[in-house]
Amino acid sequence: MDTGLIIAIVIVVSVLVIILAYYFIKWRMENRFRHWLEVERQVLEDERGKIRKEAVIQSRAVLGGKFVEQLTPYLPQFAYDPTEARFIGSPIDLIVFPGLATGDPQEIVIMEIKSGRNCQLTPQERKIRQLVEDGMVRWEQIDQPDQSVE
């Protein structure tokens, strides 16, 4: 056989082998990628489900806590007359005026109600507690002029 023909056949076979190898490697990589993508999608979907469940649990806990805050004056362990308590909500929960129902208030009690597992004051609540304990509380009155039309 002619040397040129052999070289041509070797080159054609080599090119075919390279093309086949390229498509085989490409096919393998695409399959690996599809498998990886499928696994990642499943992991992401599982995480979304967990996050949704945790959000619902957290939301229920917050709503339950708000319910307890407003219901507390009517519970047996509340040491004051419920009619003397005023709900504020934020940044403190209640202000209680012991003696107000009899017309003779004796003190003012600023109250924070905590329920659930995490019964700690927030930094803002701790600061307010410290201000009250340090006597940094004062009375202010704003008198509005009569706006009635005569």
pLDDT in tens, 93-131: 999 999 999 999 999 999 999 887 778 899 999 999 999
pLDDT of res. 84: 95
Average of per-residue pLDDT values in the chain: 92
Task: Write down the pTM of the prediction.
Answer: 0.61
DSSP element (H, E) containing 40: helix 3-71
In a domain, 128, yes or no: yes
pLDDT of res. 150: 62
In a domain, 94, yes or no: yes
User: Alpha-carbon distance 74 to 123, whole Å?
Assistant: 28
In a domain, 146, yes or no: no
User: Alpha-carbon distance 39 to 75, whole Å?
Assistant: 51
Q: How many domains does the chain have?
A: 1
Domain of residue 120, residue span:
80-133
User: Alpha-carbon distance 17 to 11, whole Å?
Assistant: 10
